Structure 1
Amino acid sequence: MKKAIFYLLASIILFSNCNNTEVKIKKPKLVIGIVIDQMRYDYLTRFADRYQEGGFNRILNDGFSLENAHYNYIPTYTAVGHTSIFTGTTPSNHGIISNNWYDKSLKESIYCVDDSNYKTIGNEGNVGKKSPHRLYTTTVTDQLHLAQNMQGKTIGISIKDRSAILPVGHTANAAYWYDGSNKNQWITSSFYMDELPSWVTEFNTNNKADDYLNSTWETLYDIKTYTQSRTDDNIFEKNLNGQEKPIFPKDLKKLRAQNGNYNLIKTIPAGNTYTVDFAKAVIKGEQLGKTKFTDFLTVSFSATDYVGHRYGVSAVETEDTYLRLDKDLADFFSFLDAEVGKGNYTLFLTADHAAVHAPSYLQSLKIPAHYMDTKKFRDYVLNITQKYFNSKELIENVSNYQIFLDKEKIESLGLNKEKVAQKLADEIMNFDKVYKAVTARTLQTTNFTDGIMNSLQNGYNQKFSGDVLMIPFPATLISSRKGTSHGSGYSYDTHVPIIFYGNGIKKGRSSKKYDIIDIAPTISNLLKIEAPNGTSGIVIEEVLEK
């Protein structure tokens, strides 16, 4: 009897120990953060049966997909999206409130990464005078460097400068972007280095861009099979310069001179292929994933955004771009297997924002949609200040759906700034394209816990944002009636894919609601490092192996 009790107790202890034992997971040698510019979540589902096994479907089937992931702030622009992904927080904390915005202290419009303190490395031009100095928090890549005592390498690449610079933060070894026009070079800033590495110079010398541009863009498959898109010849898309209609085929060799020469590569699917070419060169040239330290590479695909803006959400060009990107990703993943090794890397794939269907197209279907005339709106605002305060000199700037007041002028007239701002917020509600309006003071003193006003509050930065902020009606743009854009807090702009894959990641999917700012703390947890210093997101526990 005593022996039986002994064995029973031993079994219970052994079982308990087994349940409490975590599987020790080795850290990845390389983390890759992939951002696809302007990718809507439904591009995964709309084109699902056309994707091959090795691209999107590989990471969907073998990784963890968040099917209800959203941006939780306004505005949904490129610089803001890339920053929020890697900082784990919103513009209210990290300070990047748009691509361009009005600087209240300088009293001029500024660009998010411009910095005249540095020079271009790679050529004698000015497009390399950049740095992340306007980013006020750390990124997950910064934290990885700090955790490893500045060992390991963190590098960002993209055709767009802001998409290369902002993800890798302040301590990056390098950020590279493409200088097109007549230059055709991948360049960087003296913020990072004094001269280009030899492998970058060699890549630029190989001149792959001409191979892509001296060709014709035709659909990957028979154009009749593109049933998820509108007919190729329609009135809702912009032409390339030199084309009478925005249709296939597109003779790139003939059109390049009229479309910025090498800049044309940004606006075609080959721009993504070219980015993969450079990503491979980075990994080989810098020997990423080859040491005992974890390296981090951020890769942003920008051609999808240029194509989307020009042709819109439902264009054959957009569908073809994603089918070709799928092939590029399959090629890149196979390269990672061979160069870094299966099980040695972790990646996530997401987007910096999504996009709305062209409002003109929605209008043709009798769906409410609008275009806002910014000059008409500014005149409307000035008439308000004239009517109630007998002056048209109280407005310093109107941009990004924000009004900046001239506080010195208001004070000189003996007016109260808060009363002027509130009167403007009340009165501009009568403008036909404005759906909601609120003062900065309200955002500072009221806590909006959910909905679109919460998104506006998350995007509001007390130091940099305006005095009155507006939200237009759904499906409202200030661009032309052809093509599309983004920037709102509505689901068509906020709903994006988030897929985790590789070392330390479970297989599965979830329809729970998560925010884009949850990526950075999740990757930080996987790497067992401190999260970025402004993080307001959460760790997505269900994606991580334990």
Structure 2
Amino acid sequence: MKKTVFLLLCVMTFHVFSNPCVAQTAPVKKPKIVVGLMVDQMRWDYLYKYQDRYGDGGFKRLLDQGFSCENTMIQHAPTVTACGHSSVYTGSVPAINGIAGNSWYDRAWGREISNVEDSTVTGIGGNAKQNKSPRNLLTTTIGDELRIATNYQSKVVGISIKDRGAILPGGHTANGAFWEESGKFTTSTYYMEALPDWAKKFNEKDWDKLLMPKGWKTLYPVDTYVLSDKDDKDYETIYKGEKKPVFPHKPSISRSPFGNTWTLEFAKVAMEGYKLGQGNFTDLLAISLSSPDKIGHAYGPNSIEVEDNYLRLDKDLEDLFGYLDKRYGKDGYLFFITADHGANHSPGYLEENKLPTGVLTNDVFKELDTELEKKFGIPGLILTRNGYQIYLDYDVISKAGIDKITVADYIIEQLKQVPGIETAFLNEALASATYPEPIKTMLINGFNPKRSGDIVIVKSSGWKSGSRTGATHGDWNPYDAHIPLVWMGTGIRPGKTHRLVGMTDIASTLAAILNIQQPSGSIGHVITEITD
């Protein structure tokens, strides 16, 4: 008996040590394609606010079959489009990846520049002035790392109405990036010398007439939109040619929900044109839907226009999932949806409902210039202002023999006295500032020493720059920073988590799933719960 047991143990020991597969999990199946969908200005609550009116194949399918990270937060401020798109695909923040805003003042150029501006390239297939590329992005993206890992056999494509929504997610080595110009999808010589034939053919169609022959009417009777405010509000934007901000609208396609449909139709022909998902390695398609941002800015989160946009987007998603199912199989693709930022309500809406709000007008900064000149006896100490960043004029300050810190401290003290400005900081001193987390870290993460201003302004909750009409974003607050993140497809298990997840975790998670290196500036962590 003892001899038999001994022999059995010997056989088992030999089997374990001679077979490396024992006690190891099977290799994870890789998707044929990763499809990342960013919805510009999608607040997290839109997943659920209109849920009773969603069909079974769009948002509901995502939440039923996918894994939702319910507490996903942006980790930087400002919370704007370029920063959000670059953060998702680099796994990084503006302080590292260099995308400090939709634009910034470039001291070397002596002017404000766009986040994707590049004088070394020209536009094709549209306006030749579309000199756009990803060269201002200082780190790699997950698409770049995927291309490197497969010796550039994987394909990466970015698509959006906005240039930054296509270019930044695509990264430096993308096979193509396409964005809208004059009603057509265009690109630049950074990527190619001429538009592909399939793109030219797509552009030949009159998509305005195909998708919105009678303009923009509500999907359902307007009086059934009970989760939104009335159609005619004085804080909504009135477009050219309209007398009131009411349905039916006749906007350009990009300012309507049909801009989402148009973008997704272009994405389908791009999948076919590039033969994405048909090679030996995983491909990546980064799509960004810009129309929700245009609609949200004009009408605000509680408008019928925004509700109608998401009810129509729900149907667009159902159509997209059906297309992906047929092309790749339900388990052949990995899909995720997220957003670059959220949005606050219009000051008009907030004041109407007795909620904290206000408007910061340009008069505040004109008065600041006047007070500075009185104090120091010289004009022009402030070079410019971009968003909530103030740039000091170093030449003027130096010639006047004034200390930069002295000027900055005076500006900060003046700003703190302004209603609607919670506080202000010298960017270089943020690390030692007395201010609560996570706000302080968000400001630090948003400060790029070579591109950001000298002073950052923190607005009070609910306040907006400009006017009481429309809505905007850019602040640290949850209404701007709390975004959706739902995964579905290859290897994803159904479920949800309410633990804190960062926007930068998306690229790290993709890297882990694809078994490739994280992007060069990544600070994210893998979201381990989403897979089996």
Name the TM-score class by shorter chain. over 0.9
Match of 2:242 in 1: 243
The answer on 1:482 being equivalent to 2:469 is: yes
Once the two structures are superposed, what CA deviation does each residue of 1:462-521 show, in whole Å capped at 9, x if it has no partner? 111111111010111113322211111100000110011111222110010111111001
Specify which of 430, 433, 437 is matched with residue 450 of structure 1.
Answer: 437
1:18 and 1:152 map into 2 onto residues whose CA distance is 28
Match of 2:278 in 1: 290
- Asked if 2 retains the 8 angstrom alpha-carbon contact of 1:350 and 1:497, the reply is yes
Question: Superposed, which structure 2 residues align to 1:210-289 within 5 Å?
Answer: 210-250=209-249, 252=250, 264-289=252-277
2:354 and 2:436 map into 1 onto residues whose CA distance is 33
Match of 1:462 in 2: 449
The answer on 1:507 being equivalent to 2:507 is: no
Specify which of 65, 74, 88 is matched with residue 62 of structure 1.
Answer: 65
Match of 1:176 in 2: 178
Question: Superposed, which structure 2 residues align to 1:143-542 within 5 Å?
Answer: 143-180=145-182, 184-250=183-249, 252=250, 264-374=252-362, 376-443=363-430, 450-542=437-529
Given the superposition, is the C-alpha separation of residues 4 and 168 from structure 1 closer, same or farther in structure 2, using an over 3 Å criterion?
same
Give the letter aligned to residue 236 of structure 1: Y
- Asked if 2 retains the 8 angstrom alpha-carbon contact of 1:448 and 1:454, the reply is no
Question: Superposed, which structure 2 residues align to 1:36-185 within 5 Å?
Answer: 36-123=39-126, 125-180=127-182, 184-185=183-184
Once the two structures are superposed, what CA deviation does each residue of 1:404-455 show, in whole Å capped at 9, x if it has no partner? 1111221122221122212222332112221011112312666978221221
2:480 and 2:336 map into 1 onto residues whose CA distance is 20
- Asked if 1 retains the 8 angstrom alpha-carbon contact of 2:361 and 2:467, the reply is no
2:37 and 2:10 map into 1 onto residues whose CA distance is 49
- Asked if 1 retains the 8 angstrom alpha-carbon contact of 2:332 and 2:490, the reply is yes
2:11 and 2:233 map into 1 onto residues whose CA distance is 72
Give the letter aligned to residue 451 of structure 1: P
1:108 and 1:407 map into 2 onto residues whose CA distance is 15
Give the letter aligned to residue 21 of structure 1: Q
Question: Which structure 2 residue ranges, 5 or more long, are not aligned?
Answer: none
Give the letter aligned to residue 527 of structure 2: I
1:293 and 1:104 map into 2 onto residues whose CA distance is 43
SS at match of 1:346: strand
Once the two structures are superposed, what CA deviation does each residue of 1:56-99 show, in whole Å capped at 9, x if it has no partner? 11121111101111111111111111111101011000111111
Give the letter aligned to residue 306 of structure 2: T
1:242 and 1:225 map into 2 onto residues whose CA distance is 26
- Asked if 1 retains the 8 angstrom alpha-carbon contact of 2:508 and 2:525, the reply is yes
Give the letter aligned to residue 233 of structure 1: D
Aligned residues: 529
Given the superposition, is the C-alpha separation of residues 150 and 377 from structure 1 closer, same or farther in structure 2, using an over 3 Å criterion?
same
1:526 and 1:178 map into 2 onto residues whose CA distance is 32
Q: TM (normalized to structure 2)?
A: 0.95
Given the superposition, is the C-alpha separation of residues 293 and 424 from structure 1 closer, same or farther in structure 2, using an over 3 Å criterion?
same
Segment drifting more, 479-488 vs 442-451 = 442-451
SS at match of 1:217: coil
1:199 and 1:400 map into 2 onto residues whose CA distance is 39
Deviation at 1:10, TM superposition (A): 9.7
Given the superposition, is the C-alpha separation of residues 103 and 8 from structure 1 closer, same or farther in structure 2, using an over 3 Å criterion?
same
- Asked if 2 retains the 8 angstrom alpha-carbon contact of 1:448 and 1:457, the reply is no
Deviation at 1:210, TM superposition (A): 2.4
Once the two structures are superposed, what CA deviation does each residue of 1:268-299 show, in whole Å capped at 9, x if it has no partner? 11111111111110111111100111110001
- Asked if 1 retains the 8 angstrom alpha-carbon contact of 2:360 and 2:467, the reply is no
SS at match of 1:377: helix
Deviation at 1:7, TM superposition (A): 11
- Asked if 2 retains the 8 angstrom alpha-carbon contact of 1:36 and 1:302, the reply is yes
1:111 and 1:309 map into 2 onto residues whose CA distance is 20
1:19 and 1:200 map into 2 onto residues whose CA distance is 50
SS at match of 1:525: helix
1:248 and 1:302 map into 2 onto residues whose CA distance is 21
2:10 and 2:356 map into 1 onto residues whose CA distance is 70
Give the letter aligned to residue 366 of structure 2: D
2:192 and 2:359 map into 1 onto residues whose CA distance is 45
- Asked if 2 retains the 8 angstrom alpha-carbon contact of 1:33 and 1:349, the reply is yes
Segment drifting more, 533-542 vs 384-393 = 384-393
- Asked if 1 retains the 8 angstrom alpha-carbon contact of 2:35 and 2:333, the reply is yes
1:286 and 1:479 map into 2 onto residues whose CA distance is 43
SS at match of 1:308: helix
Segment drifting more, 492-501 vs 239-248 = 239-248
- Asked if 2 retains the 8 angstrom alpha-carbon contact of 1:384 and 1:424, the reply is no
Given the superposition, is the C-alpha separation of residues 425 and 207 from structure 1 closer, same or farther in structure 2, using an over 3 Å criterion?
same
Match of 1:255 in 2: none
Segment drifting more, 397-406 vs 294-303 = 397-406
SS at match of 1:216: coil
1:537 and 1:361 map into 2 onto residues whose CA distance is 36
1:480 and 1:11 map into 2 onto residues whose CA distance is 80
